Amino acid sequence: MSGWVVVAGLGPGAEDLVTPEVRVALDQATDIVGYSPYVARIAPRSGLRLHGSDNRVELERARHALEMAAQGQRVVIVSSGDPGVFAMASALFEQLEASPGFAQTDIRILPGITAMLAAAARVGAPLGHDFCAINLSDNLKPFDLVEHRLRHAARGDFAMAFYNPRSKARPHQFARVLELLREECGPDRLIVFARAVSTPQETVQVVTLAHATPEMADMRTVVLVGNSATRRVGEWVYTPRGVTLAGEGA
C-alpha cells in the first residue's frame, strides 16, 4: 500500500461545511495530524491514529506527516478553514523544500470553506467587491510589513479580511491597526467582528471604526472591513458590485 499526504480544510467549524471530498479523505486515512483543537474535531474510529500537536510547530508536524507517508501510511493534515489560507499547506511545502528525500511523496491539497467567507455569508456580502486577506500575526513577519500592507489595501479601497487579529502576546498591535484604519478610512467605515462562526460559540458584531475597540477581537475572530461603498440594508452588510452603483446609492 503506498502512502500519501492530504492537507484538508475542515471549514470554520460546523460539520455541514465539511466538503464530501474532505470526508472521503478522512475516511481513508490511517493517521490524522494537526493542531490539537482541529484534530479533536475528527471522530475516533478503529484503525485511525490521531496525532494532535501544539500551535507553532507546523514544520515539525509537516515532517511527521511526510515520514509517515514514506512508511506507507495515509496521512491527513487537518487545517481549520482552507488549508491554503494562513494554514498548513504552505508549511508542508516549506518542509518539502527543506527535505528533498520526500520529493516523490503523493500529496494533495483539498480546499475548505475559509473563515472570512463563512463570516461574510453570515452578515451579508461585505466582500462582494475586490478585497484583501491579511494575517495580522507578526509571528513570521515584521509588524512594519503589516502596516505597509494595510495602507496599500486602504488606499486601493479594498475591502479587507484579517486573520489572527489579536493575541494575548501582542494586545497593543490590534489597537494600532484600528488607529491606522481610522486614519486611512475615516470613522464611519463598517467593521465586522465574527467569532467562531458556525460553532455554538458564534458571535457577530457590526460597528463603525469609530466604535471599534481592540477587545472586540481575539484569536478566534475574523475581522472584516468594508470598502468605501460598504453599507447596511436592514440587518445586513454588503458591498455593491460596482463603483457606479455605489455612487448612485450613496
The span from the CA of 51 to the CA of 32, in Å, is 6
Give the one residue of 29, 61, 114, 166 binding its own copies; rule: CB under 8 A. Answer: 114
Q: How far is the CB of 173 from its own copies (least distance, A)?
A: 15
Which of residues 4, 5, 11, 220 is near its own copies by CB under 8 A? 11
Instruction: Rule CB under 8 A: say whether 158 interacts with its own copies.
Output: yes
The binder of its own copies chosen from 93, 180, 184, 205 (CB under 8 A)? 93
141 binds its own copies (CB under 8 A): yes
User: Is there binding between residue 31 and its own copies (CB under 8 A)?
Assistant: no
Q: Which is nearer to its own copies, 49 or 236 (CB)?
A: 236
Q: Is 37 helix (H, G, I), strand (E, B) or coil?
A: helix
Residues 221-250 that bind its own copies (CB under 8 A): 231, 233-234, 236, 238-245, 249
Report how far residue 241's alpha carbon sits from residue 125's, in angstroms, rounded to the nearest whole number: 10
Q: Which is nearer to its own copies, 188 or 215 (CB)?
A: 188
DSSP codes of every residue in 192-229 = EEEESTTSTT-EEEEEEGGG--GGG--TTEEEEE--TT
Q: Return the closest-CA partner of residue 165 out of 239, 202, 90, 216.
A: 216
> Parallel, antiparallel, or unpaired: how do β-strands 236-238 and 231-233 relate?
antiparallel
91 binds its own copies (CB under 8 A): yes
CB of 248 to its own copies, least distance (A): 10
Grid cell at residue 23: 470526508
Pinpoint the alpha helices (H) of the chain.
20-28, 36-39, 58-70, 88-98, 115-123, 143-155, 171-185, 243-249
Q: Which of 120, 177, 196, 216 binds its own copies (CB under 8 A)?
A: 120
Does 145 bind its own copies (CB under 8 A)? Our answer is yes
